[in-house]
Amino acid sequence: MSKRCLAALEPAYVLHHYPYRDSSLLLEVFSRHHGRLGLVARGARSARARWRGQLQGFSPLLLSWSLRGELGTLTGLDTRGGKVALAGRHLLSAYYLNELILRLLARHDPHPGIFDAYEQALRELVDREEPALRIFEKRLLEELGYGLLLDRTADSGLPLESEATYGYQLERGPVRCDNPVDSGLYLRGSSLLSLHREALADPQASRDAKRLLRAALSIYLGSRPLKTREVSRQLATFSATGRETREPRDMR
């Protein structure tokens, strides 16, 4: 018989929800101390539901539940602050964060560090979207045990030099390469150090960090594309064929 688990007023976010049976919802939840889990919110779609309208994404919640086996039952809900106001590109970027968590985190595997990084990223998306996304990706890889070497060379262990160019080998780290000769992943030392310090104020550092982190994440995401990236590309294509002359950025 599986052990019953009870949680009371646990900090959490709803990552996704689906209609379930006649009037319930099936929730994908990310909690600080219990990780990802599936919960049934019984009667949540009925007209008299006590949680009607409250089980929305990007809202800081306190959830209580009873869990036996893989799927639990929501038993209580409270709010712990206002919902982050996101729209347009910022909202798509927030869904991208959710998709990374759903794809890379196993259920019932706690990652408080990732939870804290997720909260910080949501708060910063509107004002610092690009750095917020990159720093979350970096911390996500670190917390999962796939952290990138960003402050010294992989072959000699020497500190990186800001003005030097490095070829990044994803399974090892950066190797100095003053004369790149192929289409490998070449990055400035200053960009790698900026990512290491999580200080991506320079646009070039942000672009380099995006290339590096996208390549690193692709190893663990596998061949199935992220839905948010596909949507982003479709919107960019649509905008590029309209009145705008400047191609929109793909933020993911």
pLDDT tens for the chain, 252 residues: list them: 355 678 889 999 999 999 988 889 999 999 999 999 999 999 988 888 888 788 989 999 999 999 888 899 999 999 988 778 899 999 999 999 999 999 999 999 999 999 999 999 999 999 999 999 999 999 999 999 999 999 999 999 999 999 999 999 999 999 999 888 888 899 999 999 999 999 998 999 999 999 999 999 999 998 888 898 888 777 766 656 665 444 445 556
Q: How far is CA 91 from CA 58, 121, 126, 251, in A?
A: 9, 12, 9, 11
Backbone angles phi, psi at 133, to 5 degrees: -65, -45
Q: How many CB atoms lie within 10 A of CB 131?
A: 21
Domain 4-79 in CATH 3.40.50.11900? The answer is no
For residues 184 and 165, the answer to whether their CB atoms sit within 8 Å is no
The number of helix segments (H) and strand segments (E) in the chain equals: 6, 8
Integer CA distances (angstroms), 9 to 34, 89, 150, 166, in order? 12, 32, 38, 47
Predicted local confidence at residue 175, as pLDDT: 96
11, 58 in Cβ contact below 8 A?
A: no
Sequence ranges of the domains in the chain: 4-79, 86-144+225-252, 148-202+214-221
Q: Do domains 4-79 and 148-202+214-221 have the same CATH topology?
A: no
What does CATH list as the number for 148-202+214-221? 1.20.1440.120
Q: What is the pLDDT of residue 181?
A: 80
pTM greater than 0.85: yes
pLDDT for the residue numbered 173? 97
